[in-house]
Amino acid sequence: MRSKLSIPMGNPVTGEMEFHREVTGDIIGPFLVHREASAYLAGWVVTHRATGYAVLNEIPEERSAKWLARELQKVQVSWDFSEPAAVKSLSAEALAKIKVLRAEARRGSFRQAAA
């Protein structure tokens, strides 16, 4: 089910929340899966709702983006943080798992493993 949501948008350099932007997408736990079409990005995006930061953008297929949002919830992380700097305190193990999931979602290779 598609929902409209105002998400905070942070400055990746300063980490400060600068404004809110309304997007329409599917809420999957602490994430929002939405389509992006701008001069800079195209494709599907998985956004951490509390920070407005993209976990991954330019994902070619919606189902890959939704898969990523579901799989991220299985990583041993408390996703309820609202400060982007909190990502720096995630364990090396969690960051490594997130990196693998991001790569699989971008390639769509998760479908082969599930088949």
Q: Quick check: 78 pLDDT over 50? A: yes
Structure-token pair, residue 30: 């602490």
pLDDT (0 to 100) of residue 15: 65
pLDDT (0 to 100) of residue 8: 72
Lowest mean pLDDT among 1-5, 55-59, 111-115: 111-115
Q: Quick check: 70 pLDDT over 90? A: yes
Euclidean distance between CA atoms 27 and 38, whole angstroms: 21
Q: Which of 38 and 57 is assigned the larger pLDDT?
A: 57
Could you read off the pLDDT of 80-114 as tens digits, one per residue? 998 888 988 999 999 999 999 999 999 886 654 44
> What is the DSSP code string of the chain?
-EEEEEEEEE-TTT--EEEEEEEEEEEETTEEEEEEESSS-EEEEEEETTT--EEEEEES-HHHHHHHHHHHTTSS--TT---GGGGGGS-HHHHHHHHHHHHHHHHTTHHHHH-
Domain boundaries, the chain: 2-114
pLDDT (0 to 100) of residue 96: 96
Structure-token pair, residue 40: 């800079």
HSE of 23, CA atoms in CB hemisphere, 13 A? 26
Average per-residue pLDDT for the chain: 85
